[in-house]
Amino acid sequence: MTPLVIGALGLIALFALILAQVPIGFAMMIVGVAGVALQSSWTPALTLLANEPAGVLSNVDLATVPLFLLMGTFATIAGFSTDIYNAVAALLGHRRGGLAYATIGGCAAFGVVCGSSTATAATFARVALPEMLKRGYSAAFSTGTIAAGGTLKSLIPPSIVMILYCIVAKTFIFDLFLAAIVPALLAIVLNLMAITLIVRLRPEAAPVLQRVPWRERKQALVKAAPVLILIAGVFGGLYSGVFTVNEAASVAAVLSFLFALVRGRLTWRNLVEGLRESASATAMLYVIL
């Protein structure tokens, strides 16, 4: 068989295995080994199967993946998502569509301290959605805003997607993090512009709310201060050259752990659960790679 035919059959087999609910990483492994065997023989295919896991696990850059996932886990336990949302909502909530602006801003800020776009969207679905619906916001508008905000994480460093791309493409993680700043800001601005347009065309989707007193705004900002400290300390050090990407990931994980511990939010139960989820996500990504 020609390589083109083998590639086409491999894609068909891959989709069939995925539809059969075989885990994606194992499906890719089966198809890859079979493809190499068909093009040459089973000896190089089995040699590749034996050597590739060791090569992946010895990649130093991959150490950033579990560390940034741990940062997101501890940031969630510490309640950073709620603090960020409340702070932005206190500043912008009185404007038409203010809670939607707060959701986008909160997703963007929380995305900096969370390693997963799925986790960002799921977290704000719990934090922002009940508040928006309670204040009379349209359900479709509210859920659409949260979904859009969750996707921002893929563009905001430290993005696990960016890290995996850099490892596969053999490019520098720091360079991609630096290059992503402008596209991320542009995506945030475009989302805010879309909200502005929607609330102008459909004002009933986002009613105007009462202005929050300055005292409450100040309290909300003070509660969100640890998030700003974490972002400034970790990524200020990264972009100024004080930290490498691996060091920044380590510092981020430790700081978010300490914040969760100091706030009294860290218990044995959620610590074990958070470590289990981070380990599970890391193992899944490693198998795929």
Note whether 155 and 188 are same-domain residues: yes
Note whether 72 and 103 are same-domain residues: yes
Last residue of a domain, one of 58, 75, 103: 58
Over residues 8-37, the mean pLDDT reads: 81
How many domains is the chain built from?
A: 2
pLDDT digits 0-9 by tens, 112-138: 777 667 777 777 777 778 878 877 888
Q: Give me the pLDDT at residue 233, please.
A: 80
Note whether 37 and 142 are same-domain residues: no
If residue 197 lies in a helix (H) or strand (E), which one and from where to where?
Answer: helix 181-201
Q: Confidence band (pLDDT; 50, 70, 90) for 56? A: low
Note whether 41 and 76 are same-domain residues: no
Note whether 171 and 261 are same-domain residues: yes
Note whether 34 and 128 are same-domain residues: no
Note whether 107 and 214 are same-domain residues: yes
Q: Residue 21 pLDDT more than 90?
A: no
Cβ–Cβ < 8 Å for 102, 212: no
Least confident of 1-5, 38-42, 77-81, 272-276: 1-5
Total-model pTM: 0.71
> Which domain, by its residues, includes 21?
3-58
Instruction: Please choose, from the candidates 262, 249, 270, 265, the residue with its C-alpha nearest in 3D space to the C-alpha of residue 114.
Output: 249
Q: Residue 282 pLDDT more than 80?
A: no
pLDDT digits 0-9 by tens, 193-246: 999 999 888 888 888 777 777 887 788 888 888 888 887 887 788 777 787 878
Note whether 30 and 71 are same-domain residues: no
Q: Which amino acid is at 89?
A: A
Percent of the chain predicted with pLDDT > 70: 96
Last residue of a domain, one of 58, 76, 102: 58
Q: Give me the pLDDT at residue 193, please.
A: 92
Note whether 138 and 25 are same-domain residues: no
Note whether 40 and 181 are same-domain residues: no
Last residue of a domain, one of 26, 43, 58: 58
Q: Confidence band (pLDDT; 50, 70, 90) for 189? A: very high
Note whether 160 and 269 are same-domain residues: yes
Average pLDDT, the chain: 80
Note whether 156 and 242 are same-domain residues: yes
Which of the two residues, 47 and 253, has the higher pLDDT score? 253
252/63 Cα distance (integer angstroms): 13
Q: Is 267 left (phi over 0), alpha (psi -120 to 50) or beta?
A: beta
pLDDT digits 0-9 by tens, 69-107: 788 788 878 877 778 777 877 877 777 888 888 888 888
From residue 98, how far is each of 32, 58, 112, 193, 207 by CA, in Å?
50, 47, 21, 12, 9
